[in-house]
Every structure is written in C-alpha cells, then in structure tokens.
Amino acid sequence: RSIENFRLGAVRQIRAITGFDRVMLYRFDHDGAGEVVAESVVSRRESFLGLRYPASDIPKQARALYVRNVLRVIADLDDRGSRIMPEHDLNGQPIDLSMSVLRSVSPVHIEYLSNMGVQASLSISVVCEGRLWGLIACHHYSPLRPTLEQRTTAELFGRMFSMMLESREREETAAYEQRARAITDRLMAVVAQNPELLHNPEWVGETVGGAIPHDGVGVYLDGRMSLSGMTPDEAQFRTLVSHLSTGAASQIVTTDCLSRLHPPAAAYAERAAGLIAIPISRAPRDYVVLFRMEKVRAVRWAGDPQKAMEEDAHGVRLSPRKSFDAWRKLVQGVSQHFNSAEQRVAEAVRTALLEVVLLLAEGRETDQMRAHERQDLLIAELNHRVRNVLSLVRSLISRTRENALSHEEFAETLEGRVQALARAHDQLTMKRWGPAEIEPLVRAEANAYLGDNGERIRLSGPNVLLDPIAFNTLALVLHELITNCAKYGALSDSGHVDLRWGLDVDGSLLITWRETGGPPVQAPSRKGFGTTIIERSIPYDLGGRARATYRLSGLEAEFTIPGRFVAQGVGTVSGLRQAEPAAPEIEGGFPQSVLLVEDSMLIALDIEEVLKDLGATRVVTASTVRLARQAIDEGGILFAILDINLGSDSSLSVAEKLRELNIPFVFASGYGEQARLTDEFAGDEVIPKPY
C-alpha cells in the first residue's frame, strides 16, 4: 500500500479503538513545525488535514517528554486536579512528575485545547530511530476516559506503527539512493561523451530532477551562463555566483532563505527563494544551481503561527489566532527545505561532475581517441573507489554499532575509525595514490589522539613505503592500537610505546609494538571489534601475519606485511583492490550454505551477517582463489558470491569450477556493469557495489 493509505489506516484504527471524535497523524518538519498528514473525524466536524502548526505549539521540553512517555491522556479538560502533598522532595526540590500518568496539564495547554473546543485528548508518540517523528493526536468534544484496555492497546499500536513506519522510510531511503546512483552514473557517462550538455540547464534539470525537485536551474561554466525555469535574471545570477565563489571551493551551499545568505536575493525571492549550489570545479569557480520558489503558496496554517501571548492573574495565556496573512509575513522569501537525502545526492552529483570536468580539462591536451579512453577508465575507476569506500565505511558502522555500549561510545569510536581512514587517504592523496611512508602515518595518528604527548611513541625503522591497500589496512590497525593504549595501556599513564619496523630477507615488512611503563595489562574478557581489527585485518586483507600478547608489563604485538606491498625508498608497488560482496535475492528460499569470496575482511564480516539474516546457516569466506577452491572441494556449497577482483588475481577460475559442478553463483564488483568478464561469463549477473 502507499504511504498515504498506510497513515490513513493507522488513524482509522486508533479512532475505532479509542472512540475519539477526531484522530490526526501529526508529522514534525525539520524546523519543528508540524503538519496533519492523515485524519479520521466524525462527519459533522471540519477537517484539519493539511493544516500546519508552528513549532512553538509544542516546546522542546514537551517533545523530550513525548519521547520518554509515549502515551498522554486528558480525560476531562474541566477537571482541575488535586494538589500533591508534599510538593517538594527531601532536598527541597519540586517533585519530578515527568513519568506520572496522572499529572495535570499546564494552563497554556488547557487554554490551547479549549480554544479548539476540545474536552478530552489522547496523544501517542511516534518515535523512529530514537527521535520524535510525530504524534497521533486524538480529540474529543466531550469528556472521555479511555479504559485501561484501550490505553494499553493504543500504546502497543503506536509502538508497532512506529516500527513499521521506520521500516517503510528505510525502504524509501534505499530506493531514493538507488535512483541517485543511477543519476550520477548517467551524468558521468553522458557528460564525459558530450560536455556541451552541461551548458543545457533543461537537460541538467531533467536529469537531476528525479532526486532533487526544483523550480529552476542555473549553470555557470567556463564563463558562460545558462538559465531555465524560475531563476534570477542573468545579471542577478552572475552576482550570486560571485558571492558563492567567496566560500569554500568544494563545499555545497544549501539554504531555504537565500536573502539571509545573499541580501540582494530579496529582489527575486518570489522566483528563487532557496537554492542548492553545486560547485563543479575549483578554479575558476563553476556551479550548477538548483532553485526553489517561495513555499508560502502551498501551505495552510491552523491559525497565526506567531500565536499571541498575554498575561493575567494565572500567568501566560493563549489568545485565539488568525490565519494566512501572518504566514505570508512569517515565511517571506522562504522555500521548501532541501532535506538531508537531497543534500547527499547533491554531493554525489558534485563528485561525479567534478571528476568529469577535471577529466575533460586533461583531455584537451591529447588527441580525441586518447581522451575518450582516459574518460572511460577514470569514470570506471571513480565508480570503483567510491563504491568501495562506501562499503568499507558501511561495514565500520555496522561492526562498531554491535560493540558499542551507548550512543556516545558508538559516535566517538566510529568517528575515530573514520578519521583514521581519512588521514590515511589524505597522505595517499598527497602521493597521488602511490606508495606512502609509514612514519607520517604513525605521527598523524599519534598527534590526533595524544596531542603534545605524541612523542611518547618512539619510532625506529628505515624509510619504507607501503602500497595504498596495505597503507589503509595498517592505518586502521595503528588507530586501534593507539586508542586502546591511550585508554588502558602505557599511554594512559606515563609509559611509552616502542614501534619498530624493518625488512625481512624476503622483503616482508616486520612491525613490532611494545608498551612499557604503564599500568598492568591483561587480555580483554570480551573480544570487541577493535581487537578483531588488530588481530585479523593484516592476515585477511594482505595475507600477512599478526600476533598480540598481553603481558603484565604491557601489550606486545608483531605484524608481518608481505613484500609485494612494500618498497624501500621511492618505487612502484603493484596495487590491489578491495571489493565488496553481495547478498542477492534467490527464488525458492535462500541457500543454507554459501561461499563468499571476498578479499576485504571488514566487508566479509559485514556481508556474512547479512547472508545469515537472509537465511544462510553456513557461510564460508575465502580471500583467495586457493582458499575458495579448497572450500568447494570440501563440499556442501549450494551457492556462491564471487568478488571478481581479488587483488592481482581474479575469481573467474573459481566460477569455472562452480559451473562444472552446477553450483549457482553471481559476481560482485566495484566496477558495476562495467566489470570486465570473459566471453564465457558475458551473460552472467554482476551485482554492482555498494548495494
């Protein structure tokens, strides 16, 4: 069913359960204002469907209570209640009645309901992902006291509705992001072949409009401007672009009130009140700008949103509100808000167009054929890298969430791990994604977590360079070592860490980590995700070795990175690629035993859990062709997911063996549909990543 029918069914069910005259589903907007998005009401009453209510109607402290206490009942508005004896606790503080079911209502809220003619009310909180999404508000025009059975049923219904709504919104978000990926893929492929299309605002608007609704498009590229739809005129647009160029070079600008950001925009607010500006070059500044008109024409308020207040002997009182004229004044120059999903799409568009623009700039210096070849290669590489990074971050989020004991710990730990990856990527970027030195990596991680105490990590080793794949893996391992040591080991007190590295006779890199002078250390009672990264990342991702020993004097760890990832001095190291596994849908039920061929441990751990959730009872993971063939020979495999690129190797030989045994399989690749397969597998399914 559609989301509208889903919401309507909810309010009808609540009305049938409770017997209230009016039941409304009330959704909060980004600015705190609310809108009635579904309603069931007796025939003799006017409809409130579509009306909006200002954020001031429900103060922040009341919203916080709605999250904690999901059911609130007022049986009779004229019931003045009874005094609480005593009014203060033993410390002289007013008694906290936040969770009291029988507590009275504030005079302001009583007056508010009275102005609406309401005599009884019931509210059910709709909480999605820990935030107050909205309320199911029930009104009755005479006193009404729901029974315990009705209240319990209504509360259970509200919780179930919240869960189902959250699930539906996740499905909508996934579908939306899938459309967004299709848009960016089309932009990159088409613009790379025909750059002049970027000067066509109608084409840009049509391409992006499916994910970011707008009323007008402006393009400023190579000193040329073009406009379409509801936009400023050319002179105004040129002035606006000059203003936008004073900001950060790679930052998307989003606003629903352009005149606050750029005062001259007040002159054309009726045509273009809000915008999302997407920079598509660094110097000179070029932009694709999507405009939105004023929102005032499409909104109805339930009275004056700036409700008048007056004071009398009883304190603050509400006075009746007027309606639409006050709304026009309140939102003059304001457009529909660009939500977070639309901003993420804009960022993806920026990345895609920026890469294309940079690619075209390089292509002008070569002949046309070579330019087309480079475009195809770089577009495929960009898709591959973006998808792999998204999958890696998604896996970090999933595994960190499983081990976190609180939201604060989850946020702090995840931020540290993502920042460790970001610092590694920054250093690789400076090296143009070639081999990079170890020492700057350690220093950056130590300074980020220890500040001025970073010198307590003593380094010793030759000038060794690591391939980007090994560099990223080592960055995560070092991050976990340093953070754990700072919390529980030598760096938490006055101790030191000796970090040494050198080359073995076979060219492998040997790394030792020894903590001294800190508090006594013992092995953790519970192996968390951080410990898993330390002990399994290098063996799984790189085929190396890792050993951690918890001595009383401190942690000692030894790691070996194979020589194919290592160079001494300036040199070239053959690169390997990480890729993500897939979790396809299988007709007739999901296979019980699945082979997952994936060369990234983090992604393999994540997808292993997904496969088990889908119904697999046995998931065999293999990071190399040899291990995959060994798993097949052991028998029992009913289905396989094959990452095409396994470093310098390929899973095509594994696919041949599976086909000989009539075992179904699918390929997975960060190159998506552009993955290169031999003629033998040309018609086989390739799942693009991330999913």
Is residue 372's pLDDT more than 70? no
- Residue 377: both structure tokens together: 């290669």
User: Is the peptide bond between 284 and the residue preceding it cis, with omega within 30 degrees of 0?
Assistant: yes
Residue found by looking up tokens 């060369």 in the block: 599
Nearest to 497 by CA among 535, 531, 456: 456
CB within 8 A of 557, min separation 6: which ones?
Answer: 481, 512, 513, 534, 546, 547, 548, 549
CA atoms within 13 A on the CB side of 291: 27
CB within 8 A of 458, min separation 6: which ones?
Answer: 496, 497, 498, 499
Q: Taking a C-beta distance cutoff of 8 angstroms, is the pair 345, 180 a contact?
A: yes
- Residue 678: both structure tokens together: 């031999």
Amino acid at 71: L
- Residue 140: both structure tokens together: 């009755």
Backbone CA torsion sign across 165, 166, 168, 169: positive
Highest average pLDDT, of 352-366, 403-417, 520-534, comes from 520-534
3-state SS class at 80 = coil
Which range (347-361, 390-404, 474-488, 653-667) has the least confidence? 390-404
pLDDT of residue 627: 93
Read off the pLDDT of residues 575-607 as tens digits, 9 standing for 90 and up: 323 333 344 445 557 899 999 999 888 788 878
Euclidean distance between the first and final Cα of the chain, in Å?
25
Q: What are phi and psi of 10, to 5 degrees?
A: -65, -50
CA atoms within 13 A on the CB side of 344: 12
> Cα dist. 592→58, 457, 638, 689, 691 in Å?
51, 48, 7, 23, 22
Domains of the chain: 3-169 (3.30.450.40), 194-295+331-363 (3.30.450.270), 404-568 (3.30.565.10), 593-688 (3.40.50.2300)
Specify which residues 134 forms β-bridges with: 27, 126
Q: Taking a C-beta distance cutoff of 8 angstroms, is the pair 612, 553 a contact?
A: no
Read off the pLDDT of residues 601-646 as tens digits, 9 standing for 90 and up: 878 887 888 899 888 999 999 999 999 999 999 999 999 999 988 8
pLDDT of residue 389: 59
Read off the pLDDT of residues 111-137 as tens digits, 9 standing for 90 and up: 878 888 899 999 999 999 888 999 999
Which one is predicted more confidently, 212 or 60? 212
Whole-angstrom Cα distance, residue 398 to residue 255?
32
Read off the pLDDT of residues 267-287 as tens digits, 9 standing for 90 and up: 999 899 999 999 987 666 789
Give percent of the chain with pLDDT exceeding 90.
32
Q: What are phi and psi of 597, to 5 degrees?
A: -100, 110
**Average pLDDT for 344-368:** 73
Q: Taking a C-beta distance cutoff of 8 angstroms, is the pair 113, 140 a contact?
A: no
**Average pLDDT for 77-104:** 80
Burial level of 272, CB count in 10 A (0-12/13-18/19+)? buried
Read off the pLDDT of residues 412-451 as tens digits, 9 standing for 90 and up: 767 666 766 666 666 666 656 678 888 888 887 777 666 6
pLDDT of residue 198: 85
Give percent of the chain with pLDDT exceeding 70.
79
Is residue 315's pLDDT more than 60? no
pLDDT of residue 318: 44
What secondary structure does DSSP assign to 573-623, as a single string? --------------TTS--SEEEEE-S-HHHHHHHHHHHHHHT-SEEEEES
Read off the pLDDT of residues 209-241 as tens digits, 9 standing for 90 and up: 888 999 999 999 888 899 999 999 999 999 999
